[in-house]
Amino acid sequence: LAPMIELSRTEDGSNKNGAFAKDVADGLSQKQKHLPSRYFYDGKGSQLFQQIMDLPEYYLTRAEFEVLTDNQEAMVQHFAHEGFFHMIDLGAGDALKTKILIRQLTKQQSSFDYVPVDISGDAMKQLTKSLQEEMPEVGVQAVVGEYFKALQWLQQNKSERKVVLFLGSNIGNFEMKESVEFLCSMRSYLGAGDKLLMGVDLRKDPDTILNAYDDAAGITAEFNLNLLHRINRELGGEFDVDQFQHYAMYNPLEGVMRSFLISLKEQDVYIRDTGRTFHFDAWEAIHTENSHKYFIEQVKELGQQCGFKIETVFYDSRRGFADVLFTT
Ligand code: AVI
């Protein structure tokens, strides 16, 4: 399987080589405007996402926490039966969930090191420090960058045994086609018997899903609108952010939660680093995020397309979230 993912993005999604400016200009010039959701996660956005994870409506994090807590012994047995391995954690953040597994691995004296990958350098510094304090016996090699950085790391360490964690339903933020490309790319760097533990949010009551992305306290709205603030801060944008509104919509046929920013009036917005002005009609939308919700059968097919087989599926007690253990 050939690597298919494009490896040319900036490491942290910032404006280093103008990629951010270019993506914004491209997205806002389309007939249906859009902005890539990976730009949500600047310092402020990451902080808001931490708040989202504590919201009463945002069930995903708690559900996955339960899955990992209740199944930690079984999971670790699947990972650790053949000697040393690298545990690579894509989008590790504060690794609150992964620490459940790390503790269990240490308890069982498994031979492994931990490779957290995250776009936030600060998060990786803090995580390395907290692990050194809490579990000094665990070797940690943090990688700062987007997911493609993790793929590069996998490529460089191709011959060693690996367990990849891709938790939190982060896969759900890709377009369907991108998720296949990403998983196939990952698969091409894994060897026989390597594992992938992937968190996926499952189909459920549409209202439960919708509320999770349109919370009463308005934190998700702030998270979405922060993208415009970020364009103002980093690209010299002139968005009047109060003139845009968060709008979230769930399509139960496709199983996709979509988020938008809606222009409340007809307006022109200049963005210095793009050298251009963008026109918005009253009530025109910018599509900012997809979050896919899956049937287990779809997850199975997704894996199969890239040569992954399901070893076990671990569910939460409500069967609303699953961590799927794939092997090659
Ligand atoms: C990071 N990702 C899995 C979150 C999700 O649920 O799609 C991002 C998010 N967007 C709004 N709320 C949370």
SS3 293: coil
Tokens read off for 162: 């690996």
**Distance, CA of 143 to CA of 241 (rounded, Å):** 33
Q: What are phi and psi of 181, to 5 degrees?
A: -60, -45
Summarize pLDDT for 170-182 with one digit per residue, the tens: 999 999 999 999 9
pTM of the model: 0.93
Tell me how many degrees the CA angle 263-266-270 measures, rounded to the nearest 5: 80
| Number of residues that make up the chain | 328
Res 17 pLDDT > 60: no
**Cα separations (Å) of 239 from 56, 224, 229, 232, 302?**
31, 14, 7, 6, 39
Question: What is the value of ipTM here, to two decimals?
Answer: 0.99
Tokens read off for 224: 């979405």
Instruction: Confirm or reject: Cβ of 37 under 6 Å from ligand 1.
Output: no
Summarize pLDDT for 100-127 with one digit per residue, the tens: 999 999 999 999 999 999 988 888 999 9
Summarize pLDDT for 253-277 with one digit per residue, the tens: 999 999 999 999 999 999 999 999 9
Contact by Cβ (8 Å): 274, 235: yes
Tokens read off for 195: 């594992």
Output the residue whose Cα is nearest ligand 1's atom 3. 170
Instruction: Confirm or reject: Cβ of 170 under 6 Å from ligand 1.
Output: yes
AA letter at 66: E
Q: Taking the CA atoms of 80, 82, 83 and 85 in sequence, report the sign of the dihedral they define.
A: negative
Which atom of ligand 1 is least distant from the CA of 289?
A: 10
What is the reported pLDDT for 121? 86
What's the CA-to-centroid distance between 21 and ligand 1, angstroms?
A: 23
Output the residue whose Cα is nearest ligand 1's atom 4. 170
Output the residue whose Cα is nearest ligand 1's atom 2. 170
If one residue of 41, 210, 291 were mutated to test the ligand 1 pocket, choosing by the most ligand atoms within 8 A of its CB, it would be 291
What is the reported pLDDT for 238? 98
**Distance, CA of 163 to CA of 149 (rounded, Å):** 16
AA letter at 87: M
